[in-house]
Structure 1
Amino acid sequence: MEATGTGDQGITIGKRGDQGCHECEVFGEGPEALESTRSWSLCTKNPGHEGFIPYPDFRPDHLPAGWRTPEKIESVRIMAEITVRLRVNYTSFDRPDGFAFCNSKGSTSVHTGSGWIHDVRYRKDVPCPCSDCATSLSPQPEWTEIVVVTAAHVVYNTEEAQATAVDLFYDDERSRRNGRMKTAMGSEVKFVDVEGDTCLLSCATHDTDLNEKLQELRPSAAKTFAERNCFANWRPTVGNVCVIISHPHGKPKQITIGQVKATQTTDGVVSRLSYSACTCPGSSGAVVLPMDAVGAARPARSAVHSLGRGELGLNHSSAAIHHYRPRYDKLFNQDYAEYSL
């Protein structure tokens, strides 16, 4: 299909082609659920999606022999639980020229990506930034902040964050019907790095059921990611297994498994990865877990999926999230010194 259509279809096709090799899915021609199903069915990158495992169907034997330790299996499970879908309903006029969607500024066509929960905090020390509290004469004094890691090309700034719906626990289609899937609205971009294609997005919620679900995850997540701040030892090895958990085509979360094929080092630290694990539009911002980390794979030691069909047909990450720690160290020390997940 050429990007020469008319009306909503032409706008959507134009925006879809305005991201280069990045992998957001773009909607805007009809109901999102129908467009998602159609994009999945018509996918040309991975026809049939044979390499994709629906999260509820994931089993230990999906991992290669020798990689099925309880720690690694639990890492995948916990990481899947905290993987989220992002639906971005606006493209900011402030996007830099030459950046993804730079020719679609002002567009209200929805683009979707993936991400994962980096932190959850119960807050009463600062006012809630949600739209209801911001316009209320009696804002709620207590709220839950959810910080999500994604790619900068998925959510670029606070203006876009405030037009972003973050869907948690979207495990399968039943999740939408039975109420397991929860949605929180974005409120602020805490940190963004265009060169490293990394973003920390803050959401605010008063949903007590959602807060309870996240608190139920805390013990397992805290144990699994106990050494998440130990960045120096992260050395993903070429040839070893990596796992990606994402929402391809905006569909329920899927797991793909492949190998690390190449690494890029910056200042002596691995900063980017190339890998064979399958991805599709909608996978942008997803976690990339190299499973050869000591013990369990950890989100702070993981990379953010950014590019598909790159060099040699491989997929590529943006910067490994830990590599940019010094650049937002002040933020972490002052505002995120204590982690909930």
Structure 2
Amino acid sequence: MKAEISTESVPRLDLASTCTKNPNHEGFVNFDDFNISHLPLPLRREDYFKYIQILGNRVVRLAVQKEDGGCIYGSGFLYKVGPLYVIATNDHVIGSEEDARNCTVDFFFNSPESPNTDSSYGESLLGGSDQQDLSLFTFKPVPKRVEEMNLFDNSGMSPYVSVHHDDLSVTQRRGYVCKTRGKWLVMVSRRDLYVDKLVSCEINFMRENGCQTYPATFVGISRIEEKMIGLEITDVPDFVPSVGSSAAPWPNGRDFVPVVIAHPHGGPKQVTVGKTMAVEMEGFVGKIYHTARTCPGSSGGLVITVGGDASSYVRYTAGPAIHCEGDKADTFRAVPTETGNIGASIFVSI
């Protein structure tokens, strides 16, 4: 499948005349026009619809200026970690500190008639994982409307990490925690962190108000990537598994419907709905294969697992996922896709 970044920006999808994946963009609905009738019949409930609206407001358009003068477009999802507002997207959208600093973040670009889009600018890359296709960065200024969203503080998912080297130097970072195959990992940027000189690590979780520290036990290095390192830990505080950016309004269930919210072709925010084709673990990454329509520019968009249980993959029901790649496909593993699309999205636990 292909990474879905766009080199164009259109004010309306009907102007994306060169699109070969979804030429007429059937099934794409402007975010402001999306309503309860667009959900599958069993999911047409007001609380489900409100949940999608609330999370969808946190999807942003990203425009990354490149050295050659060109620009690429993708999507991202807004989080809050302590005092920091953070955008999560794909590593292939924001892959470096330079990309982060040359990125414009557009909030509330919901429809062709959206007159009140707020813009901010990338500030610093917090971390990235080429294997997980995940990147996190900060931005400034924080628009007033973003502050008024009163986002849940995900501090409990982002412990403080102090890495001690054999030359007595210490590197301090915020990491993010995930659980895979029964093991807890803290993923942290390798910048200024020297694996061959690592002597010990101190990893401390904080409650939302930051008044009390909860140490975890460092076991060892579990993963080494080009940009990230995975530190295995035990004695994870009891409150950590219960932390999540949102509480889903549905009970645990077996199946879920993928709803994708993104900025295809760098245009206004769109919503598409599909079917789940498979959910698998690839290494330590949980992936959803689904049929919701996507296009270039959808990379980094939000995938909401509506009506079902994703907890076996990310410990939380309705664990959010980030779209990372897609392609045209009439079938997937011999099963018809119905939409002519197949996409892959990664579960995240931040």
C-alpha separation in 2, matches of 1:33 and 1:279? 15
Alignment of 1:128-277 (within 5 A): 145-175=84-114, 178=115, 180-205=116-141, 210-211=143-144, 213-218=145-150, 228=244, 237=254, 240-265=256-281, 271-277=286-292
> Does structure 1 retain, via aligned residues, the 8 Å contact 2:39–2:273?
yes
Cα distance between partner residues in 2 of 1:320 and 1:152: 14
Larger Rg: 2
- Displacement, 1:33? 4.5
Distance in 2 of aligned mates of 1:160 and 1:244: 24
Aligned residue number for residue 22 of structure 1: 3
Tell me the alpha carbon deviations over residues 260-298 of structure 1, each in whole angstroms, 9 at most, x when there is no partner: 11011257x870010010000110011111113469xx8
Deviations 1:101-121 (A, max 9, x none): xxxxx4331000011111276
Give the Cα separation in 1 of the matches to 2:146 and 2:122: 17
The structural deviation recorded for 1:244 is 0.2
Structure 2 gap ranges (5+): 155-241, 311-315, 333-339
Corresponding residue for 1:305?
323
Of residues 50, 65, 73, the one that matches 1:89 is 65
2:18 is equivalent to residue 42 of structure 1: yes
Query: What is the SS of the residue equivalent to 1:174?
Result: coil
**TM-score after normalising by structure 2:** 0.62
Deviation at 1:54?
0.6
**Length, aligned pairs only:** 248
> 1:316 maps to what in 2?
343
Cα contact 1:228–1:299 (8 A) shared by 2: no
Partner Cα separation in structure 1 for residue 327 and residue 105 of structure 2: 26
Higher helix share: 1
Normalised TM-score (structure 1): 0.64
Please tell me the residue identity of whatever aligns with 1:149: A
Matched, 1:64 2:40: yes
CA shift, 1:50, in A, is: 1.2
Query: 1:64, 1:310 → 2: CA distance?
Result: 23
State the 1:69 CA deviation: 2.5
**Structure 1 residues 290 and 251 mapped into 2: Cα distance closer, same or farther (>3 Å)?**
same
CA contact (8 A) 2:152 2:245 kept: no
Q: CA RMSD in A?
A: 3.4
Please give the alpha-carbon distance, in whole angstroms, between the structure 2 residues aligned to 1:235 and 1:21.
Answer: 32
Residue 56 of structure 2 is matched in structure 1 by 80
| 1:107 pairs with 2:68 | yes
Between the aligned residues of both structures, percent identity stands at: 28
Mapped contact 2:152–2:246 kept (Cα < 8 A): no
The unaligned stretches of length 5 or more in structure 1 are 1-19, 91-105, 123-144, 326-341
Cα displacement (A) at 1:219: 7.0
Q: How far apart are the structure 2 equivalents of 1:148 and 1:48? A: 30
Deviation string, structure 1 residues 77-108 (Cα, Å, up to 9, x no partner)? 01221110000002xxxxxxxxxxxxxxx433
